[in-house]
C-alpha cells in the first residue's frame, strides 16, 4: 500500500482539492511548482542552512531514563521543543517562506490554534522582511495570550476570529477567505498536513526532517534505525506526519497517533476525529471529519488549543482507515497528568498538545526491550497560564508520579 499521495493529492480515498474557483489559480500554481522548487539545490542549500543555524537542527534524541523506568520500556524523546520558537512548527514555516519568496509573493497569511504555528510564521516573516497576518480564534487568543504577544512583538498582525466556535477551524476559514480576497500577492502558510492538495504533502515533506533525523540518531544510540513504536499527538497532524514519514514503509514500526479525547470520547466535548469522524470535506480536502448527520461540521473540544480541530490530515485518515497507524485517544485529565509527570521525572515541561502523546505511553503495551520514540512536539511555556489554572492538580500529580 502506498502512503504517498497520487497526482491529484489522494491518499487512498482521502485528500484532493475541494476548493472554490477563487482559490484554484493559487493552489494550482503551488501544485505545479512545489516539487520542482523543493528539488532545486539552491532551495535545499538555503533550507538546510536555516534548519541548522536558525532552527537549531538536528534536535536531540534524548533517552528518558526515569520515564523509561516508570513504563518499563526504552523511551526516547525527539526534542522538537528545542527548536527555535519552541515547537516543530518552524520546520514547515522556514520551508514555506522560501517557497513563497520563489513564487514572488509579498504577503503571508496563516491560521493558528495554540499559537505555535502563528509564532513560527511571524518569526520567518520577520526574518525575511515580509508582511504577516495571523488569524486566530478569539477564544484561542485568550487561552494562549503569550503567543499572541510574541507574534505582535515579531511584527505580525494578529486578527482574532469571532465566527463559529472562535477556535482553529474558524481561524482557518478566515485565512482561506483572506486568500480568496488576495489571490495574487499572498501565500497562505498552512500549519498542518491539512488543506487542499498539495498542502498535506508539502507540509509532510517539510516536517519529514524529524523522522529522517530519528533514523540516524536511533542507529547511533540503539544500533538500529528502526524503533518499535513512534508516538505523536495529532490535531491536524503535522508533527505526527513528520515523525512517521520515513517509517511509513517500515511495517515493523508501530505508528501511534494520539488524539485529544477532551472530556471523553462520548462526552460531546472531544476532538478524537478518528473515532468520532466520518468521511467528509473540510478546508479543501476529503478526510475524516467530525460532523452531524446533515454534514454540518461540529465543534470539537480539547483543553489544548492545538488539538481541537474537527478533522485530521488526509494522510492520517488513510493511516487510520488502512490500519497502518494505531489511534489512541487521551482525555484532558490524562494529558495534564503527563505534563506533571514529564516535568518532574525529566525536567522537561511539555506543551499540552505533546502531553497527549506522552500520556499514551501507559497504553502502548511496550515491553522492556522495545524502543519507543515520542515526538516531543513543543514546549510548555505557552501553556503556563493553563498550567497555573490547574496548579494544585498538577502539583498533586507531580508528587504522585515522582513517588511511584
Partner 1 sequence: MQNRIAQTFAKKQNRLLNIYFTAGYPTLDATVPLLETLAASGADLIEIGMPFSDPLADGPVIQQSSTVALQNGMNLYVLFEQLKDIRQRVPETPILLMGYLNPVLQFGIEKFCEQAAAAGADGLILPDMPLVEYEEEYKEIFQRYGLQPVFLITPQTAPERIRRMDALTDSFLYLVSGPGTTGGGTTQDSGTQEAYFKRVAEMGLRNPRLIGFGIGDKKSFDRACEYANGAIIGSALIRSLEGATDAPAAAKAFVSSVLN
What the block records as the C-alpha cell of 127 is: 526574518
Pairing outcome for strands 74-79 and 371-376: parallel
The closest alpha carbon to 371, from 79, 59, 68, belongs to 68
- Give the residue, chosen from 183, 251, 268, 367, that forms a contact with partner 1 under the rule CB under 8 A: 183
List 111, 174, 259, 341, catalytic entry: 111
Active site residue 89: yes
Number of Cβ within a 10 Å radius of residue 253: 20
The closest alpha carbon to 362, from 256, 289, 291, belongs to 256
**Does 289 engage in binding with partner 1 (CB under 8 A)?**
yes
Pairing outcome for strands 157-161 and 131-137: parallel
**Does 7 engage in binding with partner 1 (CB under 8 A)?**
no
Distance CA 27, CA 304 (A): 30
Compute the radius of gyration of the chain from its Cα atoms: 19
**Torsion angle, alpha carbons of 107, 108, 111, 114, to 10:** -130
List 68, 78, 80, 89, catalytic entry: 89
Distance CA 401, CA 211 (A): 30
Instruction: Quote the crossing angle between the two packed helices 199-207 and 209-222, to the nearest 10°.
Output: 30
Active site residue 341: no
Rounded to a whole number, what is the largest CA-CA distance in the chain? 59
Active site residue 106: no
| Residues contacting partner 1: total by CB under 8 A | 35
Residue with smaller CB distance to partner 1, 91 or 291: 291
> Would you give the binding string for partner 1 spanning residues 42-71, x where CB under 8 A is met?
------------------------------
**Does 169 engage in binding with partner 1 (CB under 8 A)?**
yes
Q: Between residue 344 and residue 373, which ones bind partner 1 under the rule CB under 8 A?
A: none
Residue with smaller CB distance to partner 1, 84 or 283: 283
**Does 404 engage in binding with partner 1 (CB under 8 A)?**
no
- Give the residue, chosen from 38, 103, 128, 180, that forms a contact with partner 1 under the rule CB under 8 A: 180
- Give the residue, chosen from 18, 52, 153, 384, that forms a contact with partner 1 under the rule CB under 8 A: 18
Active site residues: 89, 111, 377
Residues that bind partner 1 (CB under 8 A): 8, 16-22, 24-25, 163-164, 169, 173, 176-177, 180-184, 278-284, 289, 291, 293-297
Amino acid at each position: 500500500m502506498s502512503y504517498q499521495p497520487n497526482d491529484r493529492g489522494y491518499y487512498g480515498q482521502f485528500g484532493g482539492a475541494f476548493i472554490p474557483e477563487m482559490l484554484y489559480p493559487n493552489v494550482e500554481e503551488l501544485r505545479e511548482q512545489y516539487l520542482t522548487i523543493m528539488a532545486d539545490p539552491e532551495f535545499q542549500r538555503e533550507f538546510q542552512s536555516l534548519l541548522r543555524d536558525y532552527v537549531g537542527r538536528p534536535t536531540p534524541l534524548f533517552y528518558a531514563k526515569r520515564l523509561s523506568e516508570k513504563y518499563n520500556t526504552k523511551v526516547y524523546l525527539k526534542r522538537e521543543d528545542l527548536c527555535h520558537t519552541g515547537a516543530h512548527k518552524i520546520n514547515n514555516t522556514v520551508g514555506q517562506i522560501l517557497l513563497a519568496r520563489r513564487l514572488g509573493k509579498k504577503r503571508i497569511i496563516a491560521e493558528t490554534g495554540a499559537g505555535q504555528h502563528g509564532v513560527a510564521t511571524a518569526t520567518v516573516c520577520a526574518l525575511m522582511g515580509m508582511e504577516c497576518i495571523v488569524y486566530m480564534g478569539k477564544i484561542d487568543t485568550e487561552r494562549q495570550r503569550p503567543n499572541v504577544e510574541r507574534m505582535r512583538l515579531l511584527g505580525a498582525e494578529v486578527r482574532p476570529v469571532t465566527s463559529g466556535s472562535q477556535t482553529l477551524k474558524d481561524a482557518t476559514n478566515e485565512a482561506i477567505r483572506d486568500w480568496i480576497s488576495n489571490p495574487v500577492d499572498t501565500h497562505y502558510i498552512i500549519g498542518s498536513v491539512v488543506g487542499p492538495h498539495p498542502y498535506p504533502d508539502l507540509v509532510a515533506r517539510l516536517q519529514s526532517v524529524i523522522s529522517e533525523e530519528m533514523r540516524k540518531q536511533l542507529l547511533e544510540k540503539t544500533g538500529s534505525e528502526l524503533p518499535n513504536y513512534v508516538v505523536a499527538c495529532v490535531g491536524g497532524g503535522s508533527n505526527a506526519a513528520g515523525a512517521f514519514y520515513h517509517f511509513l514503509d517500515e511495517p515493523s514500526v508501530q505508528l501511534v497517533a494520539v488524539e485529544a479525547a477532551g472530556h471523553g470520547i462520548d462526552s460531546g466535548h472531544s476532538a478524537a476525529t478518528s473515532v468520532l469522524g466520518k468521511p467528509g470535506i473540510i478546508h479543501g480536502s476529503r478526510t475524516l471529519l467530525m460532523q452531524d448527520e446533515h454534514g454540518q461540521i461540529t465543534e470539537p473540544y480539547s483543553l489544548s488549543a492545538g488539538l481541537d480541530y474537527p478533522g485530521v490530515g488526509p494522510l492520517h485518515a488513510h493511516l487510520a482507515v488502512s490500519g497502518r497507524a494505531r489511534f489512541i485517544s487521551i482525555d484532558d485529565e490524562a494529558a495534564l497528568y503527563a505534563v506533571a509527570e514529564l516535568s518532574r521525572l525529566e525536567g522537561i515541561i511539555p506543551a499540552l498538545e505533546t502531553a497527549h502523546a506522552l500520556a499514551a505511553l501507559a497504553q502502548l503495551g511496550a515491553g522492556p526491550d522495545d524502543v519507543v520514540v515520542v515526538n516531543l512536539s513543543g514546549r510548555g511555556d505557552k501553556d503556563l497560564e493553563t498550567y497555573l489554572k490547574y496548579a494544585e492538580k498538577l502539583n498533586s500529580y507531580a508528587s504522585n508520579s515522582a513517588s511511584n
